[in-house]
A and B are shown apart, each in its own frame.
Chain A
Amino acid sequence: MYIAYSGYDDVGIVPKDAEQFIWFYQVPFKTNISLLSAEIDTYFSKFQMIYNKVGTDKTFIVFSLENLFPLRLINNDFSVEQSIEKFNNEIIDFAEKNSNVKVVDFKDFLNKYSFDELVNWKFYFISQMQLNPKLAGDFQKWFKRKEAEIQLKRKKCIVLDLDNTMWGGILGEDGIDGIKIGGEYPGKAFLHWQEDLLELSKSGVILTVCSKNNEKDVLEVWEKNPFMILKKDSFSAYRINWNDKATNLQELAKELNIGLDSFVFIDDNPTERELIKQVLPMVSVPDFPQKPYELPKFFKQLVSEYFCVYKITEEDKNKTAQYKANAERVAEQAKFVNFEDYLKSLNIEIDILKADNFNKERIAQMTQKTNQFNLTTKRYTDADVQQKMDSGWHIYCISVRDKFGDNGITGTIFFTPKDQNDTVEIDSLLLSCRILGKGIEMALIHSLMNILKGNGVKSVTASYIPTVKNSQVADFYDKAGFEFLSEEHGAKTYSIDLNKSIEVKDYYQINYK
């Protein structure tokens, strides 16, 4: 990455070619309180000035303003604190209105250290650097995680053991009213943990269970134990049997159509954890706390390492229901002998929507997170999407529903502007895995070809760029009737002439919005 930084308060020049901008002002080390608070009061307008030069098409990360070395001679004078609070509130409001501005809470880093650790005055006087350079490594690691949160990257699924993980005791030995959940400690601690997990699931993380138990017993607990917060419906899928957990996890990944590298495996038994680490090294396996009272701390660690994101979208909130509806669709599929009959019975509706201010964040999020059905795997921020919309690209997203439920916005396609030969190129095409297996990809591409034809486009070029994860779409354009042009290092290019007629199966109802 190209990094340009302007230090020592020089805000005269804004490097326009930077990929992103970071505002990292901290409270200067000055003892004159009134001067200091007056200086802080100028920061917000200074920030706005820079923002106006940078514009809306690049990500602009703003650190919250913090005082690394607060010093107060008069105890009832809070003017510096008030100025800091004012700036932080202004910047949070500003970020709400300007979606390319992302606020990073610097306290989240600082809270881990004491004043003595944070500031090393020797280095400060040599370099003007306020943060102790000995913390540079820790800071870098922390900031990288923050950047990932801003790009909305996180683990998708948590796999939970039951005995001594979701409740105290062993179901097979203690019985459905003997296990410890609710009531006195340790039941209280497990109850709190289940409440934490419920919130996690509301934020879009998928909960699943993998436990060595009799399925019948567990179903009975879920139904009858009044303290159980997480029940059958809370989980998108489960494997309760005596098979080895690695096999079970692979099955869960297949059933939910999620890569194993998006899984976090939670189990109190170190042998099971070791098995997963050995057999499925792409799965994240944190150590489980020794004592139930350590669960809240453990949950906080899980959140910050795997699940925290900058913001959540509407789709995230409905994930559990969507993945469950998918599992029901799989069951329905089994009843039909003829696949087309099955598709017809689903009453599939596909909305094709133009990118706008309401869906651009979801579109950017999909480009960041989709790995398998992704033809070119180009990653974009919402600011990138905005920039492309402004420069004449045709960007669409699709929203898919059927009789089992609404999958929400689950795919996107980017066309470059029409060139002098009336040709456009498909820059990106991706679909969320949970809508695959229903022919939607073909219905989508063919419908869009017809839209483009209506807009005077004569031909479309496209490419497939291989990654370690997207081999399932290597021959997508061949199947879609595109003409193969060339191949270099596995990357293939195609084109299609829009003069020929393109048919879309009539059992998809397609709505253009």
Chain B
Amino acid sequence: MENIEQKILEVMKKVFEMDNIDKTCSQENCEKWDSLHHLTLITELEDAFDVEFEPEEIAEAKTFAKVEEFIKAKNNL
């Protein structure tokens, strides 16, 4: 689903205030992705996709790939 990937990237760009974010982005390699921005990212993703993350998932969702995996699972995709 090309669409979901694009939408996640858009949310990330908005939250981190960066233009050059791609699918390799993770908390490890992205300077802006600190604990405060992580919370903001989760709340924005919850709103954008109309889903809820569980606390255990929030702790894990620290790479683009993981975020995508959770969102697709929540949408049964």
A: which residues have CB within 8 A of B? 122-123, 125-127, 129, 133-134, 136
Rounded to whole angstroms, the CA-CA distance of A228 and B3 in the bound complex is: 62
**Supplied contacts A127-B35, A133-B42, A134-B43, 16 more A-B pairs, CB within 8 Å:** A122-B54, A122-B55, A123-B39, A123-B43, A125-B55, A126-B39, A126-B55, A126-B58, A126-B59, A127-B39, A129-B39, A133-B39, A133-B40, A133-B43, A134-B47, A136-B43
Q: Show 16 residue pairs from A and B whose CB-CB distance is below 8 angstroms, ordered by the A residue.
A: A122-B54, A122-B55, A123-B39, A123-B43, A125-B55, A126-B55, A126-B59, A127-B35, A127-B39, A129-B39, A133-B39, A133-B40, A133-B43, A134-B43, A136-B40, A136-B43
- Across-interface contacts of A134 in B (CB, < 8 A): 43, 47
Interface size for B (C-beta < 8 A) is: 10
CA distance A363 to B35 in the complex (A): 41
Interface centre among A123, A125, A129, A133 (most CB of B within 10 A): A133
Interface of chain B, main secondary structure: helix
- In the bound assembly, the distance between CA atoms of A133 and B43 in angstroms comes to 7
Q: Which of chain B's residues have a CB closer than 8 A to the CB of A126? A: 39, 55, 58-59
Alpha-carbon distance A475/B58, docked complex (angstroms) = 60
Q: Mark B29-44, 1 if CB is under 8 A from A, else 0.
A: 0000001000110110
Q: Residues of B contacting A133 with CB < 8 Å?
A: 39-40, 42-43
- CB interface residues, B 43-65, toward A, < 8 Å: 43, 47, 54-55, 58-59
Whole-angstrom distance between the alpha carbons of A259 and B47 in the complex? 41
Q: Which residues of B contact A (CB under 8 A)?
A: 35, 39-40, 42-43, 47, 54-55, 58-59
Which residue of chain B has its CB nearest to the CB of A134? Answer: B43
Q: In the assembly, what is the distance between CA of A122 and CA of B54, in Å? A: 8
Give the residues in chain A near B47, CB-CB below 8 Å. 134
The distance in angstroms between the C-alpha atoms of A136 and B44, with both chains bound, is: 11
User: Which chain A residues border B35 with CB–CB below 8 Å?
Assistant: 127
Shortest distance from the beta carbon of A41 to any chain B beta carbon, whole Å: 30
Give the distance in Å from the alpha carbon of A136 to the alpha carbon of B14 in the complex.
14
Question: Which chain B residues border A136 with CB–CB below 8 Å?
Answer: 40, 43
CB-CB < 8 A to A123: which residues of B?
39, 43
CA distance A136 to B35 in the complex (A): 14
Q: Which 9 A-B residue pairings sit nearest by Cβ, starting from the closest?
A: A133-B39, A134-B43, A133-B43, A126-B55, A127-B39, A126-B58, A122-B55, A136-B40, A133-B40
| B58 to A: closest C-beta gap in Å | 6
Residues of A within 8 A of B43 (CB): 123, 133-134, 136
Chain B residue nearest to A127 in the complex (CB): B39
Using CB atoms, name the residue of chain A closest to B56. A126
Residues in A whose Cβ lies below 8 Å from that of B40: 133, 136
The complex places the Cα of A463 from the Cα of B60 at a distance, in Å, of: 56
Residues of A within 8 A of B58 (CB): 126
Q: B61 CB to closest chain A CB, in angstroms?
A: 11
Q: How far is the CB of A6 from chain B (nearest CB, A)?
A: 14
Complex CA distance for A136 and B42, rounded to whole angstroms: 12
Report Cα–Cα, A373/B56, bound state, in Å. 59
**CA gap between A139 and B58 in the complex, in Å:** 23
Q: In the complex the two chains form, what is the Cα distance from A134 to B40 in whole Å?
A: 8
Q: Which residues of B contact A122 (CB under 8 A)?
A: 54-55
Find the A residue at minimum CB distance from B41: A133
Residues of B within 8 A of A125 (CB): 55
Residue numbers in B under 8 Å from A129 (CB-CB): 39
With the chains together, A122 CA to B53 CA distance in Å? 9
A126 to B38, CA, bound (A): 11
State in angstroms the CA–CA spacing of A123 and B41 once bound together: 12
The CA-CA distance from A127 to B34 in the complex, in Å, is: 12
Alpha-carbon distance A122/B58, docked complex (angstroms): 10
Most A CB contacts (10 A, CB to CB) among B35, B39, B58, B59 go to B39
